Amino acid sequence: MKSKIPVFSISQFRDQLTMLMDVVRHQPIVISYYGKRAAVVLSHKEYQRLIANSQQ
Are the beta carbons of 31 and 8 closer than 8 angstroms?
Answer: yes
Structure confidence at residue 2 (pLDDT): 59
Model confidence over 1-53: pLDDT tens digits?
456 999 999 999 999 999 999 999 999 999 999 999 999 999 999 999 999 99
Structure confidence at residue 56 (pLDDT): 80
Structure confidence at residue 32 (pLDDT): 98
Structure confidence at residue 29 (pLDDT): 97
Structure confidence at residue 1 (pLDDT): 46
- DSSP letter for each residue of 1-56: -PPPPPEEEHHHHHHTHHHHHHHHTTS-EEEEETTEEEEEE--HHHHHHHHHHHT-
Which pTM was predicted? 0.84
Dist. CA 4–CA 56, nearest whole Å: 27
